A = this chain, B = another copy of it.
Amino acid sequence: MSLTPEQLQEIDDLRANQQPTCRVTVPALEAILYQAVPLLDHGFVRVIDYMGDDGAIVQAARVSYGKGTQKTREDQGLINYLMRHRHTTPFEMCEIKFHVKLPIFVARQWIRHRMASVNEYSARYSILDREFYIPTPEQLGTQSSANRQGRGDVLEGEEAARVQQLLREDSERAYAHYTEMMNTDEEGNLLDPTRSGLARELARMNLSLNFYTQWYWKIDLHNLMHFISLRADPHAQYEIRVYADVLLDTLKHWVPMTHAAFRQYRMGGVHLSAEGMRVVRRMLAGEKPTQEETGLSAREWRELMAVLEENGEDA
């Protein structure tokens, strides 16, 4: 992360400027408002604004005139009930807005979640920063053999060094040619007065997918949990998972009851298939079913056994 002193000052100014409101407020979220949580080598996540709290979910579920019940136990019980029974609309009543800086290839996965609002920094209009993502050595995974879509072991020694070198050199060169084609430096100052300079909307095509972009992203709590459940999943690519983990942590500050219910009933829960349930019932009845006897594929069987043997800790 590389915020300029000017940007840090703007953030401090916003944080210092407290105003009275009769809206619902969440002190634990106010405490971190506007501050950038650093991610990867140049990325960040900042909470910019929010609407609602756990009580607002209760209030909407009951269509009441005042607040939620204000009895913690009842509110938690109702939120658990809504979560278990997939009554999702009350969770839509809370909204949150983030400012995110992220590599373009991560942004391309992220944007597939359509139920959100986005304003991205425009490379037609502005010049992108000289910032690109280079994975650390421990992230340089090989192609997974078990899962065609994922990583296996980590590259070693010379091969790892070579990958980092290629990524770095190509990125540096791409950016140098980007500015050369536009005939400007990073700040937009003219380089060579005898040349015209290529339009920004064209020059940007020379940048690679590890360059950073940034956007404002606004989403309701229901859709945010859906995003987290897919992107904080172990099958998600590491580079988006670290963002999802920060979003999940934000949830804990913002709506602690919903966060607890989400961990208990969604993230920490398990979905068993009809056949998977039959196997469990047979095992509970003392039988010892084998994969061959069931309708489960080898992979499904492996996944089922893994789930049944876990040590009981939350994922």
Q: State the A residues within 8 Å of B (CB).
A: 3, 7, 10-11, 13-25, 30, 33-34, 49-52, 56, 59-61, 63-67, 77, 80, 84-86, 89-90, 92-93, 95, 97, 99, 103-105, 108, 111-112, 114-115, 117-122, 124-125, 133, 135, 139-144, 148-153, 155-156, 159, 163, 166-167, 170, 173-174, 177, 180-182, 195-202, 204-210, 214-216, 218, 220, 230, 235, 237, 263-265, 268-278, 280-281, 283-284, 295, 297, 300, 307-310, 312, 314
Chain B nearest Cβ from A16, distance in angstroms: 8
Task: Find out whether the CB atom of B281 lies under 8 angstroms from the CB atom of A65.
Answer: no
Given A14-B67, A119-B63, A152-B199, residue A182 in contact with residue B92 (CB < 8 A):
no
Query: Given the complex, which residues of B lie within 8 Å of A152, measured CB to CB?
Result: 199
Q: Which residues of B contact A84 (CB under 8 A)?
A: 273, 300
Can you list 19 A-B contacts (CB < 8 A)? Answer: A3-B65, A49-B56, A63-B99, A85-B235, A89-B112, A105-B205, A108-B108, A112-B118, A114-B115, A125-B148, A142-B197, A143-B199, A149-B201, A150-B201, A153-B196, A166-B180, A263-B274, A269-B277, A284-B308
* Main DSSP-derived SS at the A contact region: mixed
- In the complex, given contacts A23-B33, A122-B149, what are 14 additional A-B residue pairs having Cβ atoms less than 8 angstroms apart? A7-B65, A7-B66, A10-B66, A20-B30, A49-B52, A50-B51, A52-B97, A90-B119, A93-B119, A93-B216, A125-B149, A155-B198, A166-B180, A280-B280
**Please, which residues of chain B bring their CB within 8 A of the CB of A174?**
170, 174, 208
| Chain B: CB-nearest residue to A89 | B119
Is A25 a contact partner of B19 (Cβ separation < 8 A)? yes
Is there an interface contact between B263 and A268, defined as CB atoms closer than 8 Å?
no
Q: Which of B103, B177, B204, B264 contacts A274 (CB 8 A)?
A: B264
Q: How far is the CB of A24 from chain B (nearest CB, A)?
A: 7
- Selected from B120, B140, B170, B271, the residue in CB contact (under 8 A) with A202 is B140
Beta-carbon nearest neighbor of A209 in chain B: B205
Q: B23 to A151, Cβ gap below 8 A?
A: no
A76 to chain B, nearest CB (A): 11
A148 to B199, CA, bound (A): 9
**A235 contacts which chain B residues (CB < 8 A)?**
85
- Compute how far the CA of A159 lies from the CA of B195 in the bound complex, rounded to whole angstroms: 7
A66, A86, A214, A295 — which one has the most chain B CB atoms within 10 A of its CB? A66
Cβ A143 vs Cβ B86 within 8 A: no
Contact: B151 with A201, CB < 8 Å? Answer: yes
A11 and B167 contact, CB distance less than 8 A: no
